[in-house]
Structure 1
Amino acid sequence: MKALDIENFEQSWEHWAEEAEEQVYPRFRQLDRISEHNQWKIIQAFQKHRVSDFHFASSTGYGYNDSGREALDLVYADVFGAESAIVRPHLVSGTHTISAALFGCLRPGDELLFVTGKPYDTLHKVIGKPGDGLGSLADWGVTTKMVPLRSDGDVDWESVAAATTERTKVFAIQRSRGYDWRPSFTISQISGMVQRLRAIQPDAIIFADNCYGEFTEEREPTEVGVDLIAGSLIKNPGGGLATSGGYIAGKKRLVDLAAYRLTAPGIGGEVGAMLGTTRSIFQGLFLAPLLVGQAVKGSVFASSVFARLGFDTHPRWDDPRTDLIQAIRFNDAEPLIRFVQAIQKAAAVDAHVVPEPWDMPGYEHPVIMAAGTFIQGGSLELSADAPVREPYIAYMQGGLTYAHVKFAVKSALRELWTSGYL
């Protein structure tokens, strides 16, 4: 790594930040155009379904005839170019939402095939092992296969075709990188995947985990042929205001099946009191394109700064962006931990808390997480996490304002500089 060549940290920081911003300015203009496109798309969906203030009223109990909930589902379906959608605060996380979607589509004896390699760590327990007694997919007699990506990060189509059988019911795509040093998949790439998968198994369901990807491009996976997508409201589409929840969108038949899994067969999405959350979910969706754009700008800036200091960054500042995540690779565990702790110190909430690696449920290695957020686990807000294992990669994501991300990058550099890692 290149050492900072100015003794005074503040002067050194101004130098690096100014050069980085000059470099990334053209990318910022492109990101603004994407934000505008998605903002207009959302406004038009609101207008089409005549969203009014009475739609924000709360419901209790069964939530029968909740017009706000019904309008919210219609708006989400339009925004994502889907036949149908279900948006609920009762979906507690992205993992829960994906689980509901997969269990809705799959039956005992079916096969699930991940074409983009091993999925995100928290899904491993959902996949499970035969007879584990946890109610996992394997426990219910669903077989899961995972085809590793090629060394260049592309799908290994020959191996996907070989792994596909007459029992293959669902092809699964993970749009975001997860905890891997690979590019996330763009909408254009996902469109190509859909065409290849249709040729391999025309009747199979194509599912995409859309977490971290919403509104980073002008189109969504359901607009290029994906049958079903799922994501979390405390990530991109919640706009920093949704306090919990998830969404599932796609073909109506499949969304209905997922809704039956969320509630009960025959009930589905017809009930479910919104308990005062409707307005924040609507307003969060309205704000999401702007705030996603701010977060992506922060990632582009961070990539430029750290690359200039000799760190490996992925994606690089000028690479196409299709999610929020910025990966930065360190040489050892200690600077990795210091980086994550510095992100926590830069938060407005819980800045005094010092995160430490711990055995977090659903993960296979100790994980350190910085999350000084207004919404617990809200990863559209600035956060960073890392499994403490080789090759020591930190994953930074989110930031409701670009200024906050810039402040956090400065905090991280100061921590690394004073600790002797720069």
Structure 2
Amino acid sequence: MTALSIIKEAEHSLQMLFNELEEIAYTNQVRVIEAFHKHRVREYYFYPSTGYGYGDSGRDALEDIFADIFGTEDALVRSQVVSGTHAISACLFALLRPGDELISLTGSPYDTLCRIIGHEEKSPGTLIDKGIKYSEVDLDERGKPDLTAIAAAIKDTSRMVLIQRSRGYKTRPPVDLDTIAAITKLVKARNPATIVMLDNCYGEFTAVQEPGHYGVDIIAGSLIKNPGGGLIPSGGYIAGNQDLIEQLAFHLTAPGLGKELGASLLDKRIMYQGLFLAPHTVLQALKGAVLLAYVFEEHGYEVFPRWNEKRSDIVQAVKLRDAAEVLRFCQEVQNASPVDSDVTLEYGELPAYRDKIVMAAGTFVQGSSIELSCDAPLRSPHCVFLQGGLSYEHCRFLLQRLLDRFLLANA
């Protein structure tokens, strides 16, 4: 069979699943449009502001829209937040004080967050260096949150719990919304004062609701992932309870100034338009991930999640044989990219990562992982982590290349 015939056969088999994903996207698109209508978006909201940013009505309306879409009381949406990690770090440093206890409920967090916490190596400026107590609840044997162990871990002194929704560089499943709801209910029953904090990166618009609709106190993510729709060139968001957002705003600017400051130096049109496109863009990425998972599984590869499993993020992991095969896979992704397609990849050191990393990202926005991209750490098991895709057609084009140059060539 040719690569194209394999893809067409797979698409026929996946049609019902594609239809389900399209209904999720439609529900989310309606929610976004209704939020735009509620806040009466005007063309002048798109104009940049300067200096202190006082009276930036476009910035303020955008934050109100984010809060509505994500099911929270308030939000911060700022280009000055440089990444999802920065947004999460801001939450931790703004809301925790010396002597407070932070508990990760999904095992050890993503590499860059481990450096912020400081539990694996002593560094100045980390949470532990500032007197924050830290512990982890391991995942169960299925790689899912252990509710019994979580219940035992929550004490009267537990100030905050952290849930990482996506898999990171692990093969464990992402945390679905039903589980997030169960964890939140359990934590609040044990200690109503404990803050439930969620790293929402890669999970936005993959379901018909967001964690804020299930009582999560604070969520954070990146604008160059799902909610940016592939247009927003930089920034992050934090959404949650109004009192917590106020504390965060005081941390990001200064006490007493808070959300009132912060000029929107970017053209806010792309921030509004990116959010408007986000449900559709996430749909493209999800369909591409499902297609790739189906074909690779049919060719004997172990994939996480499997093609027919429920998805709670846009990440598709594929287990390969060795580091060389990982590099070869990533090179195909790079060669299929619209930007820097002729670049030769290699493993390299990156700030805050434990191992060398290879990253395939021929993207319009540097590091944008809502665009079709792939990365992998140099460690066992040798998995690639594919994410994004601004168009399903681009995902399909990559898979055709992978079939011709990778799967069928290996057969």
Summarize the alignment of residues 346-357 of structure 1 with structure 2, pairs less than 5 Å apart.
Answer: 346-357=336-347
Aligned residue in 1 for 2:242: 252
- In 1, Cα distance between equivalents of 2:147 and 2:179: 13
**Out of 36, 40, 46, which is 1:56 matched to?**
46
- In 1, Cα distance between equivalents of 2:227 and 2:77: 11
Summarize the alignment of residues 294-305 of structure 1 with structure 2, pairs less than 5 Å apart.
Answer: 294-305=284-295
C-alpha displacement at 1:163, in angstroms? 3.1
Aligned residue in 1 for 2:300: 310
Structure 1 letter corresponding to 2:274: G
Runs of 4+ aligned structure 1 residues displaced above 6 Å come to none
Give the conservation status (yes or no) of the 8 Å contact 1:243–1:277: no
- In 1, Cα distance between equivalents of 2:113 and 2:291: 31
Give the conservation status (yes or no) of the 8 Å contact 1:131–1:139: no
Summarize the alignment of residues 66-215 of structure 1 with structure 2, pairs less than 5 Å apart.
Answer: 66-129=56-119, 132=122, 134-215=124-205
Q: Render the CA deviation track for 1:147-205: whole Å, top value 9, x for unaligned.
A: 11011122223333343333310011111111111111111111111111112222100
Task: State whether structure 2 residue 204 is matched by structure 1 residue 220.
Answer: no
- In 2, Cα distance between equivalents of 1:162 and 1:323: 28
- In 2, Cα distance between equivalents of 1:37 and 1:54: 28
Give the conservation status (yes or no) of the 8 Å contact 2:119–2:134: no
**Given the two structures, how large is their TM-score scaled by the length of structure 2?**
0.97
- In 1, Cα distance between equivalents of 2:215 and 2:208: 15
What is the aligned-residue identity percentage? 47
Structure 2 letter corresponding to 1:415: R
Task: State whether structure 2 residue 410 is matched by structure 1 residue 421.
Answer: yes
Give the conservation status (yes or no) of the 8 Å contact 1:130–1:141: no
**What SS class does the counterpart of residue 171 from structure 1 fall into?**
strand
Structure 1 letter corresponding to 2:410: Y
**Out of 229, 232, 241, which is 1:239 matched to?**
229
C-alpha displacement at 1:332, in angstroms? 1.3
Task: State whether structure 2 residue 5 is matched by structure 1 residue 20.
Answer: no
- In 1, Cα distance between equivalents of 2:320 and 2:359: 16
C-alpha displacement at 1:129, in angstroms? 4.8
Specify whether residues 78 and 89 from structure 1 end up closer, same or farther in structure 2 by C-alpha distance, changes over 3 A only.
same
Give the conservation status (yes or no) of the 8 Å contact 1:89–1:246: yes
- In 1, Cα distance between equivalents of 2:282 and 2:124: 36
Give the conservation status (yes or no) of the 8 Å contact 1:130–1:138: no
List runs of 5+ in structure 1 lacking aligned partners: 1-10
- In 2, Cα distance between equivalents of 1:225 and 1:281: 26
**What SS class does the counterpart of residue 414 from structure 1 fall into?**
helix
- In 2, Cα distance between equivalents of 1:69 and 1:140: 33
- In 2, Cα distance between equivalents of 1:71 and 1:89: 15
How many residue pairs get aligned? The number is 411
List runs of 5+ in structure 2 lacking aligned partners: none
C-alpha displacement at 1:81, in angstroms? 1.1
**Given the two structures, how large is their TM-score scaled by the length of structure 1?**
0.95
Q: Render the CA deviation track for 1:286-326: whole Å, top value 9, x for unaligned.
A: 00000000110000000001001100011111111111000
Specify whether residues 124 and 130 from structure 1 end up closer, same or farther in structure 2 by C-alpha distance, changes over 3 A only.
closer
Q: Please give the root-mean-square deviation of Cα atoms over the aligned residues, in Å.
A: 1.4
- In 2, Cα distance between equivalents of 1:126 and 1:331: 32
Give the conservation status (yes or no) of the 8 Å contact 1:80–1:222: yes
Task: State whether structure 2 residue 251 is matched by structure 1 residue 268.
Answer: no
Aligned residue in 1 for 2:267: 277
Specify whether residues 130 and 214 from structure 1 end up closer, same or farther in structure 2 by C-alpha distance, changes over 3 A only.
closer
**What SS class does the counterpart of residue 295 from structure 1 fall into?**
helix
